[in-house]
Chains A and B, each alone.
Chain A
Amino acid sequence: MIGLYSLLFLFRDDPAPGLRHSKAESRRLDCTWLDDHAASARRPGQVTTAPPSGDSVERSVMLCAERLLAPGVRSEGDEAVLRELQALTNGIAASASSRFPDLANSTWLVEAFHPSALVSAKLIFAAKNALSAWGMAVSDRLPTLAVGDAGVLTSLAPLSAYPAACARFAASGSLRPTDALLTLVHLDSRETILHAGICVNGAWSWLQ
């Protein structure tokens, strides 16, 4: 009995670093403790639950999920944003919806400014999905600036440039009165969050 138990105890699949897992392997996992019924619902057939009549055993299960991409495939900055992409964009869409309820019938345009064009594209796609999920109409159209405007705006500090660009979008007719422009911005290479602003009728507001 002791021998069997020792085998079970020593060779159970514990994700903590040790004989079976290196620290690097362990750090690739996101884990959480669940009770046996919740764990069984998440991983049907893999978790033995207590019988309906109950027993004297208190069961708990650690469920782990591995990172989709191995470390080093993406830069840490890109990984930090993309790993939380759905939560980030859902939060922004929820904030936009609650802060600007009168824009529910507007057509939403989305643009993103991130050092990586690939990440920007993913941000735009995710944000449009999130806005759609909140019942808002989205468009693939983007407002444009005249060459002279762009030259002036790119010389401004970022926190000044976005409101100025917003005013120019409205003045030039590039952004229609029925449009709302959601802009996602990554301002500093050292941050792992996104900022968001909304441009409506030439008025700019930072959401977060």
Chain B
Amino acid sequence: MTVYQPLSGLHRPVVIDPGVANFPDLHLDIYCPPGGGVDPSAAADLCRKLGILFENQGAEVFTAVQDRRFQGADLAGDTAVLTARRPTTLSLEIRTRESRQIRYPWSYALAYATLTLAPATTELTFTQDVVIRDERGGLLVTDTFRGRIVRRAGAGVWLGNKFLDWVAREPEEELTGEVAAEDFSADLYRQLSQMVFNATMRASVLSLGLPEGDGR
């Protein structure tokens, strides 16, 4: 069973609704550099999902695993579209790294001794640094998210939690299945949507990348 716990940033209050068209006039470049324990395919997958997130909110999105300003067109997205794109308004870079990984060897021994009635436990703490810049590279918004993934493997913990999910927990409190991944994705998408919205507002105020006729 995998459990997700937001440590900081990921569960901050969010006002924006990622389910509506928040960015009809936005051109967004998304960079997801690999490294820090994240391999290129995982980085590209993250970029692809974030691209869909912002496209669904009305933005024109281009994704890459490296910032084109420094690395050329090493794209996770469609290179043909890149050449025909309109000028970028904002760029979002998200760097994920594993901060610490802990295995509890005693828990493995205990799981072995109890035929997995006691769980074998590992946990991973990760950090995501997010930076949003305007098209000239000016810093608009930056934030750091930290979260924790705890994996408890064993028949006892799985059966116990499955039983509790069935008989005692409200649907939003359930822990088994793909809930951890879904909760983390929901948190990340909400926070990134809020950050991009805040960045567009700041860009407007600072007259950096204002949409035409919007008070500039």
Contact = CB atoms under 8 A, between A and B. Distances in A.
Contact of A160 (B173, B183, B215): B215
Interface in A123-178: 157-160
B7 A77 contact: no
A79 B118 CA distance: 40
Interface stretch (B13-21, B61-69, B76-84): B13-21
A5 to B, nearest CB: 6
Contacts of B110: 2, 5-6, 9
Contacts of B16: 190
B173 A23 contact: yes
Given A2-B110, A5-B106, A191 B172 contact: no
Contacts of A15: 5
A80 B5 contact: no
A2 B106 CA distance: 9
Residue of A2, A14, A32, A191 with most chain B CB atoms under a 10 A cut-off: A191
A142 to B, nearest CB: 22
A195 B5 contact: no
Interface stretch (B35-43, B44-52, B87-95, B202-210): B202-210
Contacts of A22: 169, 173
Contacts of A17: 3-5, 173, 175
B141 interface: yes
A47 interface: no
Given A10-B118, A16-B150, A32 B205 contact: no
Contacts of A52: none
A194 to B, nearest CB: 10
Interface residues of A, number: 40
A30 interface: yes
A11 to B, nearest CB: 12
Contacts of B172: 23
B141 A76 contact: no
Contacts of B197: 190-191
Main secondary structure of the interface of B (DSSP, over half): mixed
Given A2-B110, A5-B110, A77-B13, A33 B173 contact: no
Given A33-B125, A189-B15, A159 B205 contact: yes
A195 B14 CA distance: 17
Contact of B14 (A26, A31, A33, A76): A76
A74 to B, nearest CB: 9
Contacts of B22: 190
A27 B7 contact: no
A160 B3 CA distance: 49
A77 B15 CA distance: 6
A17 to B, nearest CB: 5
B15 A190 contact: yes
Contacts of B206: 206, 208
B27 interface: no
Contacts of A187: 201, 205
Given A5-B110, A23-B175, A76-B14, A193 B5 contact: no
Residue of B107, B172, B198 with most chain A CB atoms under a 10 A cut-off: B198
Given A6-B110, A9-B107, A188 B201 contact: yes
13 contacts: A9-B106, A16-B5, A17-B3, A18-B175, A22-B169, A22-B173, A26-B5, A32-B146, A33-B99, A60-B100, A80-B14, A193-B141, A195-B201
Interface of A: 2, 5-6, 9-10, 14-19, 22-24, 26-27, 30-33, 60, 76-77, 79-80, 83, 157-160, 187-193, 195, 206, 208
Interface of B: 3-8, 11-16, 22, 99-100, 104, 106-107, 109-110, 113-114, 118, 121, 123, 125, 141, 146, 148, 150, 152, 160-161, 169, 172-173, 175, 183, 194, 197-198, 201-202, 204-207, 214-216
